């Protein structure tokens, strides 16, 4: 059994891609730039908001100053619309509730801005996760392990009994960099090929399978 589980957020606990795509395309239309499909945004996300902006702006805007300026347009719009289309993946609320009832300590580590992460998690998973850690200034985003280590200290978690669950290569690398066992989910923004290539320790196709992986670890 894993006594501690750390979940990624976007593409793992919540299907947020439509709201992220809408916010990105809103900014693109403001400037008369080309817009992108939801499938394209699935490749843009995963490394934090600044990197998301870097990927959808034209090349001449891909400077620290340019990205910062566009972030100031993107963030308020996304904050106002972050729950328009976002929803938990089918079956996950029931699964995490069962895990909590079984005594598993669960937290969230995401590259979403810290001030946005906590409220959106609590909105869809009230009272479930002990800590929600988003991106904060002064720390590199995932897959850098610094925020992961900070989170594990706050949880009182040890490497041997902690599982990291996510949907992308960023999450698998984060687990590796922190010395944790990783579990890739196949309902998110990426897919089996990416997760297998990155070396995920486990893969699950349906949320229900997490119960066996986490409670049946032996």
Are both 33 and 92 inside the same structural domain?
Answer: no
Q: What helix, strand, coil percent values describe the chain, rounded to 5?
A: 50, 15, 35
Pairing of the two strands 87-88 and 202-204: unpaired
Q: pTM value? A: 0.94
Region of residue 14 (left: phi > 0; alpha: psi -120 to 50; beta: else): beta
- Based on the structure, what is the number of domains in the chain? 2
| 3-class state of residue 82 by DSSP | coil
Helix (H) or strand (E) holding 203: strand 202-204
Residue 166 has pLDDT above 70, yes or no: yes
Are both 75 and 117 inside the same structural domain?
Answer: no
Are both 162 and 187 inside the same structural domain?
Answer: yes
Distance CA 104, CA 99 (A): 5
Distance CA 93, CA 76 (A): 28
Are both 93 and 31 inside the same structural domain?
Answer: no
60, 81, 102 — which closes off a domain?
81
Are both 201 and 93 inside the same structural domain?
Answer: yes
Are both 109 and 197 inside the same structural domain?
Answer: yes
Are both 95 and 155 inside the same structural domain?
Answer: yes
Distance CA 171, CA 142 (A): 7
Are both 115 and 64 inside the same structural domain?
Answer: no
Are both 43 and 104 inside the same structural domain?
Answer: no
Mean pLDDT of 60-74: 98
Nearest to 184 by CA among 93, 124, 198: 198
Residue 32 has pLDDT above 70, yes or no: yes
Contact of 106 with 129, CB cutoff 8 Å? yes
Distance CA 5, CA 114 (A): 19
Are both 118 and 192 inside the same structural domain?
Answer: yes
46, 81, 116 — which closes off a domain?
81
Residue 217 has pLDDT above 60, yes or no: no
pLDDT at 218: 38
Q: What is the pLDDT of residues 107-148, one digit of tens each?
A: 999 999 999 999 999 999 999 999 999 999 999 999 999 999
Distance CA 181, CA 161 (A): 9
In Å, the largest CA–CA distance within the chain is 55
Q: Which domain CATH number covers 145?
A: 3.40.50.1000
- The Cα-based distances of 135 to 92, 116, 131, 158, 216 in angstroms read 23, 10, 13, 22, 32
Are both 206 and 98 inside the same structural domain?
Answer: yes
pLDDT at 57: 98
Range of the domain at 153: 4-15+87-215
Residues, the chain: 218
Distance CA 130, CA 104 (A): 10
Q: Which two tokens stand for residue 29?
A: 């239309």
33, 65, 81 — which closes off a domain?
81
């Amino acid at each position: 059994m894993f006594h501690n589980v750390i979940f990624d957020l976007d593409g793992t606990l919540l299907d947020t891609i439509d709201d992220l795509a809408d916010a990105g395309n809103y900014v693109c239309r403001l400037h008369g730039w080309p817009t992108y499909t939801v499938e394209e945004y699935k490749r843009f996300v995963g490394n934090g908001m600044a990197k998301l902006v870097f990927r959808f702006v034209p090349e001449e805007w891909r400077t620290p100053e340019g990205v910062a300026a566009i972030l100031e347009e993107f963030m308020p719009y996304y904050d106002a619309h972050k729950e328009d289309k976002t929803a938990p993946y089918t079956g996950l609320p029931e699964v995490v509730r069962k895990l909590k009832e079984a005594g598993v300590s669960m937290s969230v580590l995401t590259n979403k801005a810290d001030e946005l992460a906590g409220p959106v998690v609590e909105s869809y998973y009230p009272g479930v996760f002990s800590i929600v850690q988003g991106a904060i200034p002064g720390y590199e985003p995932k897959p850098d392990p610094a925020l992961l280590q900070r989170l594990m200290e706050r949880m009182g978690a040890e490497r041997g009994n902690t599982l990291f669950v996510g949907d992308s290569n960023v999450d698998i690398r984060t687990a590796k960099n922190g010395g944790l066992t990783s579990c890739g989910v196949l309902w998110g923004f990426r897919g089996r090929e990416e997760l297998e290539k990155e070396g995920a320790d486990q893969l699950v196709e349906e949320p229900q399978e997490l119960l066996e992986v986490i409670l049946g670890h032996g």
